[in-house]
Amino acid sequence: MRHTRDDRVELALARPVRGLAEAQHLPGGTAWEPKWDGMRVLALADGPATALRSRHGEDVTRAFPEVVAAIAGSVPAGTVLDGELAVRRSGRLDLAALQDRLAARGPAAPAEYLAFDLLRREHVDVRELPFLERRMALEELAGPWTAPLVLSPVTGDVEVAARWFRDLAGTGVDGLVAKGLDQPYRGGARDWCKVKHRSVVDLVATAVTGPVEQPEALLLALPVGDELVPVGRSRPVGAVAGLALGRVLAPASPPDIPPGPASTVATAIAPLVVEVSADVRWSRGALVGPAQFLRARPELHPTEVDPEPGAAARG
């Protein structure tokens, strides 16, 4: 099967679980990988026509020329990789620096591509193969790679996975992904599992207090069916974080918001996924206390937010 720059490939997804124990018995046994703090990207290797595609199909090729050049020179044409684009600063992954690369703001921080799955190899579709076989083929491909191409590590040892979960938390790794060794790559299916660090969840910001260019606080919601249902608000964002957040906010169209908990006049915004630290116990459908804003996640769509984040966050 040949691919072109215009191919749309649906990505495999992960469902949240409370802890490592819930993902220990996936089909064929469980393989554990770090959950990188970057941007999920498909790499379509095709020599000078090599392309990078975000999880929603956007072409991000021009923003990362060093990664594209490395893939074009080291990965056979007709190969499709699934992985994460990331920027590393001071020993940890820096999503804000990655987002600056996408927006062409400021000096370009070097990026890397962490490959964790193989979908096609030299025009041959391998998605129906079990993960163990895809991983072995990926490791064979990655043998001669050098930076900025990186083979994402994997382990079948749950004790090693537990150490990763504990020790990598301060390096920009926000949890683990678990895959069944016998599982094929099923685009759109949540066959994989993800374990995120406690109390860190994704919610949807639907409005702000203060100016949109430098918001003071966020009104938060969860997707329930086709609606965004208000669940609470954030603590004050802070001046510096507010300025950075304002760069990725956009006014709502039409400019209205669903009713919800708010003590001040709010301005509606286009729904934006944000990562927060929160007490995810519920009181009559709302958060218990305000959430602490951590970062924007513009690479995610609101429909990708777990409508029941509490279960995953408590693991």
Residue spans per domain, the chain: 14-196, 200-313
φ and ψ at residue 177, rounded to 5 degrees: -115, 135
Q: How confident is the model at residue 163 (pLDDT cuts 50, 70, 90)?
A: very high
Q: What is the pLDDT of residue 5?
A: 52
Higher pLDDT, 38 or 196: 38
For all residues of the chain together, what is the average pLDDT? Answer: 88
Taking the domain 14-196, which CATH number applies? 3.30.470.30
Higher pLDDT, 290 or 132: 132
Residue 315: is its pLDDT beyond 70? no
Q: How confident is the model at residue 83 (pLDDT cuts 50, 70, 90)?
A: very high
Q: What percent of the chain has pLDDT over 90?
A: 64
Segment 6-32 mean pLDDT: 90
- Strand pairing partners for 59? 53
- Between 45-54, 78-87, 115-124, 199-208, the lowest mean confidence (pLDDT) is in 199-208
Higher pLDDT, 297 or 18: 297
* Rama region for 262: left / alpha / beta (φ>0; ψ in -120 to 50; rest): beta
Residue 110: is its pLDDT beyond 50? yes
Q: How confident is the model at residue 108 (pLDDT cuts 50, 70, 90)?
A: confident
Q: Among all chains, which residue has been given the structure tokens 């490959």?
A: 115
CATH fold, domain 200-313, is OB fold (Dihydrolipoamide Acetyltransferase, E2P) (2.40.50)
Q: What is the pLDDT of residue 280?
A: 58
Q: What is the pLDDT of residue 177?
A: 98
Higher pLDDT, 107 or 298: 298
Q: What is the pLDDT of residue 6?
A: 54
- Strand pairing partners for 267? 208
Residue 156: is its pLDDT beyond 80? yes
Residue 62: is its pLDDT beyond 90? yes
Segment 10-35 mean pLDDT: 94
Choice among 35, 179, 194, 196 that is catalytic: 35
Residues 6+ apart with CB under 8 A from 75: 43, 45, 50, 81, 141, 149
Q: What is the pLDDT of residue 282?
A: 58
Q: What percent of the chain has pLDDT over 70?
A: 88
Segment 34-45 mean pLDDT: 95
Sign of the C-alpha dihedral computed for residues 286, 243, 66 and 4 taken in this order: positive
234-291 pLDDT tens trace: 999 989 899 999 999 998 876 554 544 444 579 999 999 999 987 655 555 677 678 8
Q: What is the pLDDT of residue 92?
A: 85
Instruction: Report the C-alpha gap between 124 and 14 in whole angstroms.
Output: 25
Known catalytic residue at 194: no
Q: 90 exposed, middle or buried (CB, 10 Å; 0-12, 13-18, 19+)?
A: exposed
Q: What is the pLDDT of residue 78?
A: 97
Q: What is the pLDDT of residue 289?
A: 73
Higher pLDDT, 131 or 175: 131
Instruction: Report the C-alpha gap between 85 and 144 in whole angstroms.
Output: 19
